[in-house]
Amino acid sequence: IGLGLVGFGIFFILFGMLLYFDSVLLAFGNILFLSGLVFIIGFRRTFTFFFQRPKLKGTSFFLGGVLIVLMRWPLLGMLLEAYGFVTLFR
């Protein structure tokens, strides 16, 4: 279930970017991606991964970008998410 959710999340994010940053598709993709991550590694490990002391900057940018996409500012939100993603997985 988790891999399917992550796969659909990535698909919706890419499809939303292809359709000129459609905010509904991007928001749906973000929610599916994060819920799939929780299904794959579990809630506690997901929480501890995102909220480690050295990764707080990346987490704040990533989750802030998700929040901004949900508030229908897709371009700014995706830029913040991309920076947060790179900072998290560096």
pLDDT tens sequence across 29-40: 999 999 999 999
Euclidean distance between CA atoms 10 and 29, whole angstroms: 6
| Domain of residue 57, residue span | 51-89
Question: Mean of the per-residue pLDDT values for the chain?
Answer: 95
Amino acid at 12: F
Residue 43 sits in the same domain as residue 64 = no
Residue 36 sits in the same domain as residue 9 = yes
Query: What pLDDT score does 59 carry?
Result: 96
Residue 63 sits in the same domain as residue 39 = no
Each residue of 71-83: pLDDT tens digit?
999 999 999 999 9
Euclidean distance between CA atoms 11 and 1, whole angstroms: 15
Residue 68 sits in the same domain as residue 82 = yes
Residue 30 sits in the same domain as residue 62 = no
Q: pTM here?
A: 0.90
Residue 9 sits in the same domain as residue 39 = yes
Domain count, the chain: 2
